Structure 1
Amino acid sequence: MKNAVYCIAQTREQAETIVHSLKDAGFPNTQISVLFADKSGTRDFSHEQNTKMPEGATTGGIAGMGAGAALGWLAGIGSLAIPGVGPFIAAGPIMAALGGAAVGGATGGMIGGLIGMGIPEYEAKLYDGKIQGGNSLISVHTENSDQVDAVKEIYKRAGAEDIHSTSEGSAPHKAA
């Protein structure tokens, strides 16, 4: 059964710590997603912009990650513009989900994209507000309950907030 485990990191450093811990625990970069608002412009990241879709989604490679090396390890990291919502940095499977929302001009923008990924609406609204407030959303797609438990433990050790998991065919669960 496929599962996804989500959390909120309050700082970029905390997000880096979580991603590094997930990498050390053996989770592949293709199963980890990170999303945060790009409020810093190019001060923290050097973007190599490549327009992939003329309808509004812009993705590109990230170079010069410096202290952001753990995030640079993730698959498909780049910038993403969601019309009416703003610029974001995204990596992993969330990039494709939100890229589709951006291109389609989906109602609800980011919330619609998060719901499309299987996040319940009330959690998607919570995450949307936290991301726009400067926090990072991290998710890991897992194969079994042992991996779900391992991810939740990594999140808890790092002090992450709003830890939730979802699985196909079941209701969402909040971490204890």
Structure 2
Amino acid sequence: MKASVYCTAKTVSQAELIVERLKGAGFTNNDISALLPDKRGTKDFAHEHNTKAPEGATAGGIAGLGVGAALGWLAGIGSLAIPGVGPFIAAGPIMAALGGAAVGTAAGGVIGALVGMGIPEFEAKRYDAKIREGNILISVHTEDGKQRDLAKDIFKHAQADDISTGSEASAKSV
């Protein structure tokens, strides 16, 4: 059964380590998502770092986003501003979710995107709070129990927090 495994990392270097290990274990850049607050310009309130999503997903250099090569390897990395929530750097499938309809309302931006990706609402709220505190959300798509266990082991060995698994949302046939 397809599912995603989630965790939070406290630092960019911890997130980079996790992504490198996932990559080394055979997960592709399209399987892995990362979401982190964009802290560029936090001391410079007169300057905003906004791009359009999904057009902004490929805009800008990796170094300009303040992330290293491992996070830059992820598909569709870019920065975006969620009205009423703030600026974020996102990569992977979560970038598409944030660029979609879930971002339409300020109150449900991140939470709505996470729920849309299959995370239960109570966990989505917890992850939203963690991201706002400066943590980095990492998720990885898995095809079966073996991959889920592998991802969880990688997260545990990297001392990630808030490790959980959720069924992936699937589109219903009409």
Indicate whether the TM-score tops 0.5.
yes
Match runs of 1:34-113 below 5 Å: 34-41=34-41, 51=52, 58-65=56-63, 68-100=68-100, 101-102=102-103, 104-105=104-105, 107-113=107-113
Matched-pair contact (CA < 8 Å) for 2:51–2:79: no
Q: Secondary structure at the match of 2:19?
A: helix
Query: Which ranges of structure 2 fall in alignment gaps of 5 or more residues?
Result: 44-48, 170-174
CA distance 1:108–1:118, change in 2 (3 Å)? same
Tell me which residue corresponds to 1:18: 18
1:34 and 1:168 mapped to 2: Cα distance?
16
In the TM superposition, what is the alpha-carbon distance from 1:50 to its structure 2 partner?
5.5
Q: Name whichever structure is richer in strand by fraction.
A: 1
Give distance in 1, aligned partners of 2:60 and 2:138. Answer: 18
CA distance in 1, matches of 2:35, 2:3: 18
How far did residue 93 of structure 1 move? 0.2
**Structure 1: gaps spanning 5 or more residues:** 170-176
1:2 maps to what in 2? 2
- RMSD of equivalent CA atoms: 2.4
Change in Cα spacing, 1:124 to 1:83, as seen in structure 2 (3 Å) is same
Q: Structure 1: how far apart are the matches of 2:42 and 2:107? A: 28
SS at match of 1:165: strand
SS in 1 for 2:8: strand
Equivalent pair of 2:155/2:163 in contact (CA under 8 Å): yes
Q: Secondary structure at the match of 2:68?
A: helix
Cα drift, residue 62 of structure 1: 4.0
Q: Is the 8 A contact 2:37 2:134 kept in 1?
A: yes
Paired letter, 1:99: G
Aligned pairs, number:
161
Please, what TM-score do these two structures have when normalized by structure 2? 0.84
Q: Contact 1:58/1:81 (CA < 8 Å) preserved in 2?
A: no
**CA displacement at 1:166 relative to structure 2:** 1.2
Structure 1 length-normalised TM: 0.83
In structure 2, relative to structure 1, the CA distance for the partners of 1:24 and 1:133 (3 Å cut) is same
Distance 2:159 2:153 in 1: 10
Is the aligned partner of 1:116 residue 2:95?
A: no
Return the alpha-carbon distance in structure 2 between the equivalents of residues 94 and 67 of structure 1.
17
